[in-house]
Chain A
Amino acid sequence: MDFQFTEEQEEIRRQVRALCARFPDEYWRERDETGEFPWDFYQAFADGGWLGITIPKEYGGSGLGITEAALVMQTVAESGGGTQACSSIHLGIFGLEPLIKYGTEEAKRKYLPKVLSGEIHVSFAVTEPDAGTNTTQIKTFATRKGDGYVINGRKVFITKARESKKMLILTRTTPYEQVQKKTMGMSLFFADIDPQAVEVRELRKCGRKAVDTNMLFIDNLYVPKEDLIGEEGKGFYYILDGINPERILVAAECVGMGKRAIEKAVQYAKERIVFDRPIGMNQGIQFPLAESYAKLETAELMVYKAAWLFDNGKPCGKEANIAKYMAAEAACEAADRAMQAHGGYGYIKDYDVERYWREARLFRIAPISQEMVLNYVGEHVLGLPKSY
């Protein structure tokens, strides 16, 4: 067993840390206030080649694994950028896996270099208002027409659709009622977000204001058949492939954000004097922070175990799910405790912890809710009967 990161992985961490240092707390505070997309941060990461970290070398990327991607995301979150920073680059870093694995050579040559350079943003459009977590119930439909398809339907919670030219969109191509297996009959497209056919309506949300999340109204969006990924009807399975890495990355982001919150709280608890002593001298302040730190460290272990399994081609569903669960809990708790340690100041935006608190909360819900993770563990790990 070897728990040591390689020299190269350490170097990745050092360089990402240095790059993030250019974007201080004020930068993220301001983005959170105005909702302006962090363009210069995004471009700095594109210029440094970081968006191509998992893209294979033949397409100009660095061909590294989820371990390295997780290191990048944790470091970015920990720098104070939180989810505003992470979500702005997250999909570039991993979301294109279905295209890389199942896309045509032509599509890969055409799009991957542009994703890498930051020229095109991509959204991932799965969730629907009438289906929710039950993805097989999606209603968005792609009908064959001539040499392509025409898509109609609605999607909700689609992140970065405002910036994106392209989206990986899951639709039905055979109605639910006509398939033998409910996970069949869905197809994945790498479609244009054509403003003529797709209305993007931004949702106002609790945190992460700089990275938009939207409702999409799709009316007769034409997609040439070259933009179908893999085979018709198998889209759901293509998406499943990317689920574990996504959970690992999100978990890494949570650990980073939680650690940042604790770091801020520790700093504050050393400096703030009440009753003639630093508040950090009180065990009532110290213990919750110490305990949160312990939980974050433990979640981190699970993140890199899951990443290691994935990179070594081994099953990692159990570990990726548990990492996501534990990291989301640890991050929310850490942010909450950091806020408590700050007293009234914790509720004030200039102290940053309230922003982490609002942002961390997302990860108990998305990309998969904690309940559904527990459903997975209960059913697939413990072997209990399916509860729903």
Chain B
Amino acid sequence: MKILVTVKRVPDPETTIRVKPDGSGIVTDNIKYVINPFDEIAIEEALRIKEKQGQGEVVLVSIGAKVASEQLRTGLAMGADRAILVLCDQELDSLGVARILAKIVEKEAPDLVLMGKQAIDDDANQAGQMLAALLNWPQATFASKVEFMDNYVQVVREVDGGLETVRFPLPGIITTDLRLNEPRYASLPGIMKARKKEIREIAVAELGIDTTPLLTVHKMDPPAKKAAGKKVESVQELVHLLHTEAKVI
């Protein structure tokens, strides 16, 4: 089975994010970048599927500046076979991303596309769904379990208040949720092997599609500063305040 996995370069969730004074974006100096954690789960799932089936190919795709090759290299070190980097310096919205991915899917013809349910930078949670619509493929989002049956794939989805089990025939799209798996660490031999694996670069212009964003970010505001906490003397006082001040009980 050929699996295409999307990989987005995002700020490390551990770093402190500051909004630029003019609200036009975030301050990017001195931030570390990582693979979007949900994409990392997608890579892990693809590798497990390949290992379980004893054959197949895991192809990574990222869209962005040349530096995104760092994250692709990490994915290759985890065990993916090769990677594609769509070079694009322009800001994209989810539809632009989905359009580019649709082109890549057309070229690569994978049996399955595994994506993170969202990227932790803008939290849009749209690209997977839009890609499914553009391709007219079935989709299962928020996957917490993936199993292959005779001629379909069964996915357990995490939905509000419970689990939903869906099935679809391949090809299709799965987006991953947090509990699907725990991604592996790249081993040193993995890192060494990754050095020799291919990262093919494609300029976005070559794809011949319109990626002008329909959506633009108008303004960013940092979250409101939390007020200082309060220390209480006793459980009684805590309960009292939760009732009278916080009004939660």
Residues of A within 8 A of B (CB): 7-8, 10-12, 14-15, 18-19, 47-50, 52-53, 62, 64
A50 touches which one: B70, B188, B194 (CB < 8 A)? Answer: B188
Question: Is B208 at the interface (CB under 8 A from chain A)?
Answer: no
B187 touches A11 (CB 8 A): no
A53 touches B188 (CB 8 A): yes
B186 touches A62 (CB 8 A): no
B187 touches which one: A10, A48, A64 (CB < 8 A)? Answer: A48
Question: Is B77 at the interface (CB under 8 A from chain A)?
Answer: yes
Main DSSP-derived SS at the A contact region: helix
| In the complex, residue of chain B having the shortest beta-carbon distance to the beta carbon of A21 | B14
Question: Is B161 at the interface (CB under 8 A from chain A)?
Answer: no
B74 touches which one: A14, A48, A49 (CB < 8 A)? Answer: A14
Query: What residues of A have a CB within 8 angstroms of the CB of B191 in the complex?
Result: 8, 11-12, 15
Question: Is B82 at the interface (CB under 8 A from chain A)?
Answer: no
Query: What residues of A have a CB within 8 angstroms of the CB of B74 in the complex?
Result: 11, 14-15
Binary per-residue interface labels of chain B (187-205) against chain A in the complex, 1 for a CB within 8 Å, 0 otherwise? 1111110110000000000
B188 touches A8 (CB 8 A): no
Residue contacts A-B, CB under 8 angstroms, 29 given: A7-B69, A7-B70, A7-B73, A8-B191, A8-B192, A8-B195, A11-B77, A11-B186, A11-B191, A11-B194, A12-B188, A12-B191, A15-B77, A15-B191, A18-B185, A19-B185, A47-B187, A48-B185, A48-B186, A48-B187, A48-B188, A49-B188, A50-B187, A50-B188, A52-B189, A53-B188, A62-B188, A62-B189, A64-B192
B189 touches A49 (CB 8 A): yes
Nearest chain A CB to B155 CB, angstrom units = 28
| In the complex, residue of chain B having the shortest beta-carbon distance to the beta carbon of A52 | B188
Give the interface residue-count category, chain B. 10 to 19
Nearest chain A CB to B21 CB, angstrom units = 21
Nearest chain A CB to B63 CB, angstrom units = 19
Query: What residues of B have a CB within 8 angstroms of the CB of A62 in the complex?
Result: 188-189, 192
Main DSSP-derived SS at the B contact region: helix
Nearest chain A CB to B218 CB, angstrom units = 33
| In the complex, residue of chain B having the shortest beta-carbon distance to the beta carbon of A51 | B188
A7 to B69 alpha-carbon distance, docked (Å): 10
Query: What residues of B have a CB within 8 angstroms of the CB of A15 in the complex?
Result: 74, 77, 185-186, 188, 191
A12 to B191 alpha-carbon distance, docked (Å): 7
A15 to B189 alpha-carbon distance, docked (Å): 12
B70 touches A10 (CB 8 A): yes
20 A-B pairs besides A8-B195, A49-B189 with CB distance below 8 A are A7-B70, A11-B70, A11-B73, A11-B74, A11-B191, A11-B194, A15-B77, A15-B185, A15-B188, A15-B191, A19-B185, A47-B187, A48-B185, A48-B187, A49-B187, A49-B188, A49-B190, A52-B188, A52-B189, A64-B192
Query: What residues of B have a CB within 8 angstroms of the CB of A8 in the complex?
Result: 191-192, 195
A50 to B192 alpha-carbon distance, docked (Å): 11
Query: What residues of B have a CB within 8 angstroms of the CB of A11 in the complex?
Result: 70, 73-74, 77, 186, 191, 194
Query: What residues of B have a CB within 8 angstroms of the CB of A19 in the complex?
Result: 185
Binary per-residue interface labels of chain B (51-95) against chain A in the complex, 1 for a CB within 8 Å, 0 otherwise? 000000000000000000110011001000000000000000000
| In the complex, residue of chain B having the shortest beta-carbon distance to the beta carbon of A47 | B187
